[in-house]
Structures are given as structure tokens and as C-alpha cells.
């Protein structure tokens, strides 16, 4: 098989998501399982979105709109951009893969920070092998260090991914710093701002959405998703904002009909009101602050976060702690694969779910 396959794949560690609830249920036969592992929204989606999904079932014998036209129109209107500034994907992960396929040539590299979302590395390796991926050190506060990233730029760097806020650390970089960075990066390097968690950033923070660059910098792409604050992770839908010329290159690698009818229509319906988004933001803000203070009271170092999750350092063997939490019915994320082997990440859920996690954590750590 080794001589048979694309050799890049032999250098690839496949993405390993958090354990599914059903699998844990089968293994341990537990009464209650709380999953706080994948940064999903704890709320059920609004009734109007559910109804739209039900209605669309009658149409699934036919292919969806291949270029998500109506959804793009709605996003364009909401963001003050044109329809050609938008491309929709089956999750923003699909677009990350389109970006490396469209822009990463042999000998060129993807550059990002250490301790970030794993899909940039996977997409780079899949496209041009392990030599095509490099990462810069973070600063001591677990933030992307733009100066370390700048220092790594050489002629081979083609794509830079900036995750803001970052997963799994939850930190942001000031808008002013990112703006300065974008202005000074050579224009033959594509800068991708992955804003998957932008809706959770504290209102009033110095945060750069990047929209101001979309029509005047062909080398900037912004990624957003419906998987987090919109609560549509199970439908797989996200999008890119970019210059029409840049996105037209992505459309060359896009599979036809890549986003299902149900996903397109649910996303379109979700954009009709901000109530669900606001409710999700408020609950997350309240429960995040509560969980952060409860973790501090337990003496557990936890990094303040601008997202819907917290990274913490339990000061014990993380693999062992994770196994024990699973046996107690708690699924969170150990961060070895993200390059932080002594840390874990917990998604902010409803208060009763966070309490269940805390209770089990206390029991295991003997506090």
C-alpha cells in the first residue's frame, strides 16, 4: 500500500475528534454523559430554523444550489460586501483544504503558530508533504506571536493562518497588531484570518474582523462558521470572505453541490434574527466567567478566554485524568495533539453540565 498511495499521506496524522457520546455509552453504560469537547453551542437551534430544516426534507431528491447563491446574497447583505466576496463550504474546514489545494505549490509552505487548530497542518501536509508546514512559537501568554511569525517568513512561505481567537488557547491578538501585520506582509503571501469564534469575543474588545481588507487586498481571506454561535455544527457549513479574484481560484477546486440543501437553508434562516446569537453569547459569557472563577478556587491554572471554551492545566497526568473523566461520563479534550500535553480544553456548556464536569474533576483530583 505504501508505494500505492500519495506519499504525502504517509506523513499525516489523521484528525482525531473528541469521543462520541454513543461510543462512551456503549463502553461504560453510564446514566449521564456530558460532552464538552468540541466547542459546540449547548442550545437547541431556534424553532424557525428547525421548521425550515423540516420543510427542506421534501426537496432532498434534488441537488442543492451549487454555489449557495441565496445564502451568499444574505451574507453579503449582512456584512456589507458583494455576493462575489463570499464562498460557502461544508464547514470552514472544507475551505481550509480548498485554500491549500488552490494556492500551495511544490516547495511552498504554510506558516502558523504552534498550539493552534490542527487542520492547517493536515491540509498543508496532504497537499505538499510535511516539509510544507512550519510553525512559530507563541508568546508566554499563549497568544499568537506575530513577531515570531514575521521572523519565520522567507521566500518559501505562501500561506499564513492566523486563528483569532485561537483554538485551543482561547486567546486573541489585538486588532491593531493584526492590522499592522497584514499591512507589512508581502502581498504574494496569502493571510487567512480564521475567525471561527469571533462572535464570542467580548463586545468592546480591540478585535479585527478583517472585513475592511476584503475588497482592497487580494491576499486576505476571512473564514467564518455556522458551527459555533449559530449552533449548526451537525450540518457542516462555513464560509470564506475574500476578493472575487482570490475566491474564483478557490471555486476551481470546490466540489459541485458541496453544501447540502438543508445546511444552506438552515444557515439562511439563522441569519434572519440575531436573538439566538445574542442569547448564546450572553450565556457563554456568564458561564465562562463562573467556570473560570470556580477553576481558580480549585487552584487550577486556567487561561482567560475570548471563546466558548477554556484551556486549563490540571498539574497531573492528562492521559490518566482524561481516562478517569471518561469513566465518570465527562468528555473533554486532552491537548497533546495540539502541542500542549499538560493541558486540557473544556467547552462552556449549560451551568448544570459545567457543574457535573467540576464535580467529577474535584472527585478525581481529590479537592
Nearest to 223 by CA among 70, 65, 91, 67: 91
Stretch that binds ligand PLP, among 42-50, 89-97, 254-262, 341-349 (CB under 6 A): 89-97
Stretch that binds ligand PLP, among 26-34, 86-94, 259-267, 345-353 (CB under 6 A): 86-94
Angle, vertex CA 282, rays to CA 343 and CA 297, nearest 5: 40
CB of 93 to ligand PLP, least distance (A): 3
Q: Residues 247, 252, 253, 259: is their CA dihedral positive or negative?
A: positive
CB of 132 to ligand PLP, least distance (A): 19
Among 93, 149, 259, 343, binds ligand PLP (CB under 6 A): 93
Say if CB 173 and CB 120 are below 8 A apart: no
Select 228 or 360, whichever has its Cβ closest to ligand PLP. Answer: 228
Nearest to 347 by CA among 332, 361, 335, 360: 332
Query: 128 to each of 21, 121, 293, how far by Cα in Å?
Result: 35, 11, 44
**Does 196 help bind ligand PLP (rule: CB under 6 A)?**
yes
Spatial distance between the Cα atoms of 320 and 259, rounded to a whole number of angstroms: 39
Spatial distance between the Cα atoms of 231 and 240, rounded to a whole number of angstroms: 18
CB of 238 to ligand PLP, least distance (A): 3
CB of 58 to ligand PLP, least distance (A): 26
Query: Among residue numbers 236 through 255, which ones bind ligand PLP (CB under 6 A)?
Result: 238
**Does 310 help bind ligand PLP (rule: CB under 6 A)?**
no
Q: Residues 331, 335, 341, 343: is their CA dihedral positive or negative?
A: negative
CB of 92 to ligand PLP, least distance (A): 4
**Does 161 help bind ligand PLP (rule: CB under 6 A)?**
no
Residue nearest to ligand PLP (CB): 91
Residues near ligand PLP, by CB under 6 A: 39, 91-93, 117, 163, 167, 194, 196, 225, 227, 233, 238
Amino acid at each position: 500500500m505504501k508505494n500505492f498511495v500519495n506519499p504525502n499521506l504517509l506523513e499525516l496524522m489523521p484528525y482525531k475528534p473528541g469521543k462520541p457520546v454513543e461510543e462512551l455509552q456503549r463502553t461504560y453504560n453510564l446514566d449521564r454523559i456530558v460532552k464538552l469537547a468540541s466547542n459546540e453551542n449547548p442550545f437547541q437551534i431556534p424553532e424557525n430554523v428547525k421548521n425550515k430544516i423540516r420543510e427542506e426534507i421534501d426537496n432532498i431528491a434534488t441537488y442543492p444550489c451549487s454555489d449557495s447563491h441565496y445564502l451568499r446574497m444574505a451574507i453579503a447583505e449582512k456584512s456589507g460586501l458583494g455576493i462575489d466576496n463570499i464562498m460557502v463550504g461544508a464547514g470552514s474546514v472544507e475551505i481550509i483544504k480548498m485554500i491549500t489545494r488552490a494556492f500551495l505549490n511544490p516547495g511552498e509552505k504554510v506558516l502558523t503558530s504552534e498550539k493552534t487548530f490542527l487542520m492547517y497542518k493536515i491540509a498543508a501536509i496532504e497537499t505538499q508533504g510535511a516539509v510544507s508546514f512550519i510553525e512559530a512559537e507563541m508568546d508566554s501568554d499563549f497568544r499568537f506571536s506575530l513577531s515570531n511569525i514575521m521572523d519565520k517568513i522567507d521566500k518559501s512561505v505562501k500561506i499564513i493562518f492566523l486563528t483569532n481567537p485561537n483554538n485551543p488557547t482561547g486567546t486573541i491578538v489585538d486588532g491593531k497588531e493584526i492590522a499592522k501585520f497584514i499591512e507589512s506582509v508581502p502581498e504574494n503571501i496569502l493571510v487567512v484570518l480564521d475567525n471561527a469564534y469571533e462572535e464570542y469575543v467580548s463586545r468592546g474588545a480591540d478585535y479585527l474582523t478583517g472585513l475592511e481588507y476584503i475588497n482592497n487586498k487580494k491576499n486576505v481571506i476571512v473564514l467564518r462558521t455556522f458551527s459555533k454561535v449559530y449552533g449548526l455544527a451537525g450540518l457542516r457549513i462555513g464560509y470564506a470572505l475574500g476578493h472575487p479574484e482570490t475566491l474564483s481560484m478557490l471555486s476551481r477546486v470546490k466540489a459541485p453541490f458541496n453544501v447540502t440543501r438543508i445546511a444552506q437553508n438552515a444557515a439562511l434562516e439563522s441569519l434572519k434574527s440575531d436573538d439566538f446569537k445574542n442569547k448564546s453569547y450572553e450565556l457563554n459569557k456568564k458561564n465562562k466567567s463562573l467556570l473560570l472563577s470556580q477553576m481558580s478556587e480549585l487552584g487550577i491554572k486556567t487561561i482567560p478566554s475570548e471563546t466558548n471554551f477554556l484551556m486549563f492545566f490540571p498539574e497531573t497526568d492528562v492521559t490518566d485524568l482524561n481516562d478517569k473523566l471518561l469513566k465518570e461520563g465527562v468528555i473533554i479534550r486532552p491537548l497533546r495533539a495540539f502541542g500542549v500535553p499538560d493541558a486540557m480544553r473544556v467547552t462552556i456548556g449549560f451551568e448544570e453540565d459545567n457543574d457535573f464536569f467540576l464535580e467529577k474533576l474535584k472527585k478525581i483530583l481529590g479537592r
